[in-house]
Amino acid sequence: MGRKGTPGPHGEAADADTDGEAEAGQAAAAGAGAQEAEAWPPGAGPGPPLWRLPEELLLLICSYLDSQALGRLGQVSRRLQRFTSRDLLWRPIARACLNSGFTRHGTDLVTNIPVKERVKVSQNWRRGRCRQGTLLKWRRNLMPWMQLEGGCLYLSQAEDIHAYQLCPDGSSLRRRPLAIFSGHEEDVCRFVLASSHVVSGGGDGKIGLHKINGTFSIKFSAHEQEVNCVDCQGGVIVSGSRDRTAKVWSLSSSQLGQCLHTIQTEDRVWSIAISPLLSGQLMTHLGRDFHRGAGVLDVLYETPSTLLSCGYDTYIRYWDIRTSSQKCVMEWEEPHDSALYCVQSDGNHMLASGSSYYGVVRLWDRRQKGCLHAFSLSSPTSSPVYCLRFSTTHLYAAVASALHVLDFKTP
């Protein structure tokens, strides 16, 4: 029936793409012939020995197979194909793969897609197989920010934020925006989606609040200089500015626009994030002995105690504040000494980063030190990748004058 599965390089499962891998003789060796197997359901009397086994024992045997052996076994008959396609068998394999939709703790984030299909697509991420395309272009050089939620992509365009509907294939979008959120007098710097609102910070020093599925919209003065970053969670807004302050605001209508707390910093604030614990207090300062100007350009919580950061000093850092807030647990260096503008995680093994030179997107396997793959986005200028987001099948990257897509589902 196959051999006991062994992990592939970097701890991942072997390739799940079984097309053309098993010849007729190998398929016959994996079990009884297709016609004979179809005729005997599990638990029946005379028939193929495989089907005489209790289902629990058959599941146990199949759990020792790697993805390649499972795929070959599924080619024996339609019944075995259905049996070996169960999510229960593929889930342990998927948890060892890149960007398969499972967090480190085993939570399935993409329950609407069969696990076997996600494992197949994961091999394209690991091998760097994708098809590049351009979704949008614009004439002015901007510093766009982006959010991805469900089937919608939100993209800042100068002083506005546009919401686009992605097409079902994920590789294209409807050019006419579903909605446009306006109100800033200068370019939007950052924005987040929270509590059915779009919360934005702009170069005019104001914070904007827009109801996603409604007409409610308001803005208020927040800082003396531009609002470089915002975050929102649990009815609380935090903002950071070039004026060297971070501020805490309430999302409630009775206190909207009233600053609850101000944190003075030694330098401009480029990025900010609220802990999922939502304590309302400044928890700690990360790191020490950083060079002046080596700012953190993006920070991302993975769990209440672990987070990722990247910035001008060319490193991605992984922090666990349960062990130390002064020294990171792991770090990965950008090989071409480029500042890193953004970082994203699948919550498990894969990281993606956007570099400041030549529009380079890099994929990382956090189980190894070096970069896994690099993709240079076609651009007339050597624009940084200001923002990126990804699903289990596509990666979207925004540069100064275009929005690009990397399609890993149909490379």
Task: Tell me the three-class secondary structure of the chain, residue by residue.
Answer: CCCECCCCHHHCCCCCCCCCCCCHHHHHHCCCCHHHHHHCCCCCCCCCHHHHCCHHHHHHHHCCECHHHHHHHCCCCHHHHHHCCCHHHHHHHHHCCCCCCECCCCCECCCCCCHHHHHHHHHHHHHCCCEEEEEEECCCCCCCCEEEECCEEEEEECCEEEEEEECCCCCCECCCCCEEECCCCCCEEEEEEECCEEEEEECCCEEEEEECCCCCEEEEECCCCCEEEEEEECCEEEEEECCCEEEEEECCCCCCCCEEEEEECCCCCCCCCCCCCCCCCCCCCCCCCCCCCCCEEEEEEEECCEEEEEECCCEEEEEECCCCCCCCCEEEECCCCCCEEEEEECCCCEEEEEECCCCEEEEEECCCCCEEEEEECCCCCCCCCCEEEECCCEEEEECCCEEEEEECCCC
For residue 291, the model assigns a pLDDT of: 66
For residue 76, the model assigns a pLDDT of: 87
Q: How confident is the model at residue 286 (pLDDT cuts 50, 70, 90)?
A: confident
pLDDT at 68 over 70: yes
Domain with CATH 1.20.1280 in the chain: 50-125
Domain with CATH 2.130.10.10 in the chain: 128-182+287-407
pLDDT at 343 over 90: yes
The stretch 35-50 carries a mean pLDDT of 48
Q: How confident is the model at residue 13 (pLDDT cuts 50, 70, 90)?
A: very low
CATH architecture, domain 50-125:
Up-down Bundle (1.20)
pLDDT at 308 over 90: yes
Mean pLDDT of the chain: 86
For residue 315, the model assigns a pLDDT of: 93
pLDDT at 199 over 80: yes
The mean-pLDDT minimum among 77-81, 344-348, 368-372, 402-406 falls in 77-81
Q: How confident is the model at residue 288 (pLDDT cuts 50, 70, 90)?
A: low
For residue 374, the model assigns a pLDDT of: 96
Regarding predicted confidence, which is higher, 3 or 55? 55
The mean-pLDDT minimum among 163-172, 202-211, 286-295, 333-342 falls in 286-295
The mean-pLDDT minimum among 151-160, 353-362, 374-383 falls in 374-383
CATH number 3.90.190.20 given to 128-182+287-407: no
